Structure 1
């Protein structure tokens, strides 16, 4: 128990220990778990602490008790294997949630150091201060206090400023982007997207029948100015979707000279810009300048989510836009997002009081500490097999096979060894990045990272050429 985090309650460590035992039990016949007294002695905790951890697991349906017999691990319902599924993304998602899997593909930065406890503590304090709001007072575009704090956070000058009325809060990022696609009437329109691009965004654009033109990034996360200029001249581009500073999954910080060149071309052609700001808070360096600082704010929209840097208790997405106010308000009203106003106020206090910035400093350091051993192992064990793009922030590492291999067979081989990776083709609608993988060491479970990287190397070297 001494290995548990200092800020954990003891029952949380007991709970985690029990979940490991349950995961080991798998989908076989029910397995009897240690008794209250046995577990208390084994972990040097009180019987009441063990009992509380068991009660939580009973409520979740993961264990059940039999009088005068003890506690048993609840057998999980076996899901049909999706190894042969034609939907690669679905296969990744489902297998990543299976017990006992080593997930070498996770992109959940806040899981290392979530702000759940401070957030919920603030929420409890606010619940005592504020009376329960009547439904008529609920603001469909988001709580005013949070919108005001976000507007101030994004304002950098007298030209690049935002007001609370320019900010819209949604239940999650997907919902906000779906509204944006409807308001901008992007169905059938041409949108240029930097590639690789987040699969959630790509799937939403595909579902809305948007004509997506992918612009592959050059080394260092740079956009090719000549290729972009050609697209803007010869295509009816309605919008360009581009990352703010840190582009993911590559993890590169675009040089200022490249940002300025992009901004100049977009301004020259009067092109609207949709800036993905989900990862800009996770860069390693100080003062990375976002692309929006060089853009005309009158032709700019910015979206992001709190979940990447606060955690699962703050899943809200948000949008900044100076235009389409009536249409955006109408769509948010139609969606009728019922977001907890107190939770939003608590997030506003985290942002406005400086607590978030302190947290980000710690989170960036922890993410780098997790990435560094993975990168070292990739260079040491797989130096002859992959090229590693050295990331400048975030939770993941982007790698490319040095020889053309059948990456589908690499993926399936690793899956049979209970290892989940994210193939590069997920980050493109046009079949790009087939020789790439997005890797992460956030949640490899109890598996030794060196042995997992070794299995990845074996899979790459044994895979047939494509």
Structure 2
């Protein structure tokens, strides 16, 4: 029986990943040629090429003209140090061969649209022959911008147009351009806490003064404290998650979001809504900040890779009121985004394929969350507490006794296990007894054993914490 392309693609990728892990050393290793591997695994040449391309995008292999593909030589990774270096070390450690990373936040790792995307792109490439000089659209391809505007349109009074959508190669590039456009250097920005480390870094780089709003166990802010803070501080920008609080995994009540938006509107505060995980709420009809926000002070951003996969790292921004300024910034930056890839993404949206995929992906995420939660209770219930998440791809876990999770992180590295300590999600030293655990894992690994080892290390670390 002929193997399905998607299964073949994934099988080749897994085969190569294991081959690279086994060959890992401080010396380069040559990989089989595309044709050789295709013959060995009895798959098409294009399937093998896709697998190699993904590994190359991940930085695990490199190609050389007329020589082939080679693994990258690995240097020994140093142990992390305190402070800002911890995040850099965690990022590097999670990508070391042989590590079991319990810290990912990529929903599409469970189920991606990469194969349909690549197949659609191949079909479109035959319809749109490559030009010697591709006509790149500096704001993004019109087809994809129109599809994204359509997805965010809710009614005749709440709609978006393609000209209000701006595409960039990744989240960092898009947010950097936005912050340059807003020109808020030295101003005060509010963020929910815990907050994405990537966002915290970008805000610091833009020289903004960050004030964290800690979420309680139910996923709410202390509204009285927020009101007093707004009266006391000249806040110019608020960065908040759309539906589920990420990475906290909680869901703020609609009435609280409405009250916050009312205060922001009264004070002319920009609301920057992170919608990268907006489609990953397990609660149907969850309220979003944009449901209540002042449309002229609303900015929405998201990254497509969370739903589609690593082959779609594109990010986008929606704004109704910064058109001329954003157009100028994007024109000056002149992003060179693949026109065919954008057209393929637009086709997946317009055909309903993305919506069908999201239904399945949310179901898988919910099942894996419950599976991880059960294992965590069995293996570490006496040491760790984790409420069920309302969405997303991670659990927010708290130690039941005082412990520094940075110490736990360091000790687990010796066991080949990587976690995300809670401290990296705050610049003010919050969440030191917390960690983020992913349920988008390689479930073929010994997850149960890894959680048992986590509980053991937490117990040891807590007994030595003053």
Tell me the TM-score range normalised by the shorter chain: 0.7 to 0.9
Q: Which runs of 5+ in 1 are unaligned?
A: 65-72
Please give the secondary structure, in 2, of the residue aligned with 1:110: helix
Task: Map residues 351-430 of structure 1 onto 2, 5 A cutoff.
Answer: 351-430=349-428
Q: 2:242–2:289: 8 Å Cα contact kept in structure 1?
A: yes
- Aligned pair partner of 2:261 in 263, 278, 285: 263
TM-score, structure 2 as length reference = 0.88
From the superposition, tell whether residues 406 and 11 of structure 1 become closer, same or farther in structure 2 (CA, over 3 Å). Answer: closer
Pairs within 5 Å for 1:90-239: 90-132=88-130, 137-239=135-237
Assess if the C-alpha contact under 8 Å between 2:27 and 2:73 holds in 1: no
CA distance in 2, matches of 1:381, 1:393: 23
CA contact (8 A) 1:176 1:319 kept: yes
Deviation at residue 7 of structure 1 after TM alignment: 5.3
Whole-Å Cα distance in 2 between the matches of residues 15 and 149 of structure 1?
Answer: 31
Q: 1:81 aligns with which of 77, 82, 107?
A: 77
Query: In structure 1, what is the Cα distance between the partners aligned to 2:393 and 2:103?
Result: 10
Decide which of 288, 292, 295 is 1:294's aligned counterpart: 292
Spell out the pairing of 1:38-57 with structure 2 (5 A cutoff). Answer: 47=40, 49=42
Q: Secondary structure at the match of 1:281?
A: coil
Cα deviation, 1:198-246, whole Å, max 9, x if unaligned, reads: 1111001111211000111122222221111111111000011111111
Residue 14 of structure 1: how far off its partner (Å)? 5.1
Match of 1:465 in 2: 465
Question: Which stretch has the larger CA shift, 95-104 or 211-220?
Answer: 211-220
Question: Distance between the aligned counterparts of 1:57 and 1:342, measured in 2?
Answer: 20
Equivalent position of 1:442 in the other structure: 440
Contact 2:243 2:289 in 1 (8 A): yes
How far the C-alpha of 1:191 sits from its partner, in A, is 0.5
Q: Does the Cα contact within 8 Å between 2:365 and 2:439 map onto a contact in 1?
A: no
CA–CA separation in structure 2 for the residues paired with 1:115 and 1:353: 13
| Matches of 1:183 and 1:454, distance apart in 2 | 48
- Following the alignment from structure 1 to structure 2, what is the Cα–Cα distance between the partners of residues 205 and 79? 31
Counterpart of 2:317?
Answer: 319
- 1:401-426 residue CA offsets vs partner (Å, 9 max, x unmatched): 11111222111110110000001011
Look up the SS of the partner of 2:436 in the other structure.
Answer: strand
Change (3 A) 1:14 1:327: closer
| Offset at residue 33 of structure 1 (A) | 11
- SS of aligned partner of 2:218: helix
User: Considering only CA atoms, is the larger Rg found in Structure 1 or Structure 2?
Assistant: 1
2:306 match: secondary structure: coil
CA contact 1:110–1:311 (8 Å) conserved in 2: yes
Aligned position for 2:453: 455
Partner in structure 2 of residue 249 of structure 1: 247
Q: After superposing the two structures, state which structure 1 stretch, 196-205 or 385-394, moved more.
A: 385-394
Secondary structure at the counterpart of residue 287 of structure 2? coil
CA shift in 2, pair 1:155/1:50, >3 Å: closer
Q: TM-score, normalised by structure 1?
A: 0.88
Q: Distance in 2 between matches of 1:15 and 1:315?
A: 19
SS in 2 for 1:193: strand
The more displaced of 21-30 and 81-90 is 21-30
> Any conservation in 1 of the 2:26–2:74 contact (CA below 8 Å)?
no
Tell me how large the CA RMSD over aligned residues is.
3.2
1:407–1:434 Cα contact (<8 Å) kept: yes
8 A Cα contact 2:236 2:268, kept in partner: no
CA contact (8 A) 2:421 2:434 kept: yes
Partners of 1:31 and 1:185 lie apart in 2 by 48
Q: For the residues of structure 2 that align with 1:420 and 1:129, how far apart are their CA atoms?
A: 45
The answer as to whether partners of 2:276 and 2:302 remain within 8 angstroms in 1 is yes
Q: Counterparts of 1:75 and 1:336 in 2: how far apart (Å)?
A: 32
Cα displacement (A) at 1:156: 1.2
Q: Is the 8 A contact 1:387 1:399 kept in 2?
A: yes
Matches of 1:312 and 1:262 in 2, distance apart?
Answer: 34
Contact residue 369 and residue 388 of structure 2 kept, 8 A: no
